[in-house]
Amino acid sequence: MKSIALKTALSIAEAGLSHAEKSGFKPMAVVVVDDGGRLVAFMRGDGASPGRFELALAKANGCVMLGVGGRALAALNASNPGVVTAAGNAFGGKLFPAPGGVLLRDGQGAIIGAVGVSGDTPDNDEAAAIAGIRAAGIDFQP
Amino acid sequence: MKSIALKTALSIAEAGLSHAEKSGFKPMAVVVVDDGGRLVAFMRGDGASPGRFELALAKANGCVMLGVGGRALAALNASNPGVVTAAGNAFGGKLFPAPGGVLLRDGQGAIIGAVGVSGDTPDNDEAAAIAGIRAAGIDFQP
Amino acid sequence: MKSIALKTALSIAEAGLSHAEKSGFKPMAVVVVDDGGRLVAFMRGDGASPGRFELALAKANGCVMLGVGGRALAALNASNPGVVTAAGNAFGGKLFPAPGGVLLRDGQGAIIGAVGVSGDTPDNDEAAAIAGIRAAGIDFQP
Amino acid sequence: MKSIALKTALSIAEAGLSHAEKSGFKPMAVVVVDDGGRLVAFMRGDGASPGRFELALAKANGCVMLGVGGRALAALNASNPGVVTAAGNAFGGKLFPAPGGVLLRDGQGAIIGAVGVSGDTPDNDEAAAIAGIRAAGIDFQP
């Protein structure tokens, strides 16, 4: 049983892509996963390269699997890359340590899923993810 | 450059899920892939089990990789299961020989992608896929 | 060190595709592998679906790995499918038990590689493979 | 429906290998993939080691999946190796961050595929790729 309703996931993805377009970002892909790291919704913007799905999913899944946001994973990767690579291998490659992976939390702070965005710079990816999450009114941790 | 615009893919998925809900089908997941079998859009209806993504993707990807619809693949699997199993292994498991995988074609007959649906019986999965595709006004081959 | 010169492999693939076109076969893909099952040359005809590469490679590789032609593998699969599936799994999915995989032999009978063709019926695939091999003047075993 | 015709792909590969031979480069392998990263044509020059196929494919596929040229990927790998390793894992190993992977673009700038070359130094691999692409008169991005 997933913890994010499809309707919520779609609103996050749509608002994220809309923010990216208005901001002049490169074409992007947005993934929303549940609290098990399983896919709920995905949208690949026209012009985004095909591998953006795998990267966006790896961002979101890595966050859920470790309970850590993408920005924190990027910092850990900078200080201790061997450990992050090993974790990624343990997850079958589904971990991408970069901003653009954002944890979703409910009102009590429990992790209910994650968003992963890939297409432009990590900072722009994260900005699109956060814009989408804010539009849905959900707590988050980048 | 993918051959199915995101807007079209989303309309297929939304109309497919809406048809399923109105028909009283079990919760479903819908995948739309491009002509290379790469993911364009995905929606998992509330209550659908997490593995429905992998099955829906395998239905759609198998159709594109072979240029054959899911109903034809199911018939081939009934008459010659070893061959279909071997093809699935050659595609890394991304083939599911059942109705619910439907090829998308442009006005000239060229394959431009596929839809994969999983959640209920194969016949109901296919009915949802076709309802979604018809709503988008695209030629198809089940 | 591969046992088939690139020039020979290209002539097999070109003549095979040319035969297919003249015969009105569906668009096809042709693989030529060496005596280690490693790829030497590949051509995907315009209009052939993307997965035809994986199937053609699996046909050719399976033949070389077992030292058995594709038609014989198809017969073995009919009588003992579990064994052929197990062999395919052992080869990482790179075995496809169907006509269209053809062993190549030198004048002393030693295996020097294989051809794999996928795109139409197994019989037509095999006919294209054999036409290509004959044009190159090489001994073969379907 | 692939975006690179077989005839074009073959001319790229042949001209690339011919350039390598005239330049005294080591034996090489050349891959051409379409805009979904799917194989269209492959040639392994006599004397090139068998794994050159996997490396050339990983170069070309990584470029298409990310929409980035191989030289840019190599620079990213130098500055942030953990991220590139993670991307490669997300793509099942089919990414090789080195010169010799070159994006192909149509007249409007859309990505229509990629070329991957492996066999000698990255610079020589790239020179062969570019020579092949130029002979076919196609826009590119190294």
What is the number of alpha carbons within 13 Å of residue C97 lying toward its C-beta?
27
pLDDT in tens, D10-35: 999 999 999 999 999 999 999 999 99
The pLDDT value given to residue C2: 52
If you measure CA to CA, which chain B residue comes closest to D40? B36
Min Cα separation C134/chain D (Å): 21
* Contact yes or no for D67 and A55 at CB 8 A: no
d(CA A119, CA A70): 15
pLDDT at C3: 80
How confident is the model at residue B1, as a pLDDT? 40
Summarize the confidence of residues D5-12 as an average pLDDT: 98
Q: Is C55 helix (H, G, I), strand (E, B) or coil?
A: helix
Residue spans of chain A under pLDDT 70: 1-2
One pLDDT digit (tens) per residue for chain B, 142 residues:
458 999 999 999 999 999 999 999 999 999 999 999 999 999 999 999 999 999 999 999 999 999 999 999 999 999 999 999 999 999 999 999 999 999 999 999 999 999 999 999 999 999 999 999 999 999 999 9
Q: Are strands C101-105 and C139-141 parallel, antiparallel or unpaired?
A: antiparallel
Q: Find the closest chain D residue to C48 by CA distance.
A: D1
Q: Are C99 and C142 in contact (CB under 8 A)?
A: yes
Average pLDDT for C60-84:
95
- Overall average pLDDT of the D82-110 stretch: 95
Asked if residue D4 lies in contact with residue C7, where contact means CB atoms within 8 angstroms, the answer is no
Closest CB from B36, B111, B112 relative to D37: B36
Q: Does B34 touch chain A (CB under 8 A)?
A: yes
Identity at B78, one-letter amino acid code:
A
In this predicted structure, what is the pLDDT of residue A2? 52
The pLDDT, as a whole number, for residue A16 is 98
Q: Answer whether C touches A (≥3 Cβ pairs < 8 Å).
A: no
Query: Does residue B58 belong to the interface with chain A, where contact is any CB pair within 8 Å?
Result: no
Q: Which of B36, B66, B89 sits opposite C93 (nearest CB)?
A: B89
Residues of A in contact with D77 (CB under 8 A): none
Q: Which chain C residues in 92-121 lie under 8 Å from chain B, judged by CB atoms?
A: 92-98
**Which pLDDT band, with edges at 50, 70 and 90, does D3 fall under?**
confident
In three-state secondary structure terms, A130 is: helix
The ipTM is 0.95
Contact residues on chain D for C40, CB-CB shorter than 8 A? 43-44
Instruction: Check if B51 contacts C (Cβ < 8 Å).
Output: no
Q: Does D60 touch chain B (CB under 8 A)?
A: no
Q: Which domains does chain D have, with CATH numbers?
A: 28-141 (3.30.450.150)
Residue type, D132: G
What amino acid is encoded at D8 in this protein? T
Helix axes C70-79, B81-90, angle to 10 degrees: 120
Q: Which chain C residues in 75-94 lie under 8 Å from chain D, judged by CB atoms?
A: none
Residue reference for tokens 């080869």: C91
β-bridge mates for residue D140, sequence order: D104
pLDDT at res. D1: 40
Nearest to A114 by CA among A61, A53, A52: A61
Answer yes or no: is pLDDT of D55 > 70. Answer: yes
Scanning the structure block, which residue is given the tokens 């790998």? Answer: D77
Q: Which residues of chain D are within 8 Å of residue A58 when distances are taken between CB atoms?
A: 86-87, 89-90
Specify whether the CB–CB gap between A128 and A20 falls below 8 A.
yes
Would you say B105 and B139 are in contact if contact means Cβ atoms under 8 Å apart? Answer: yes
Question: Biggest alpha carbon distance in chain C?
Answer: 38
Region C7-20 average pLDDT: 98
**Where does the pLDDT of residue C63 fall: very low under 50, low under 70, confident under 90, or very high at 90 and above?**
very high
For testing contact with chain D, the best of C38, C39, C52, C61 (most D CBs within 10 A): C39
Distance from CA of A79 to the nearest CA of D (A): 11
D3 lies within 8 A of chain B by CB? yes
**In terms of DSSP H, where are the helices of B23-121?**
52-66, 70-79, 81-90
- Residue B44 forms contact with A (CB below 8 Å): yes
A99 φ/ψ sector (left φ>0, alpha ψ -120 to 50, else beta): beta
Nearest Cβ partner for C85 among B82, B90, B91: B82
Q: Contacts of residue A42 in chain B, CB cutoff 8 Å?
A: 39, 41-42
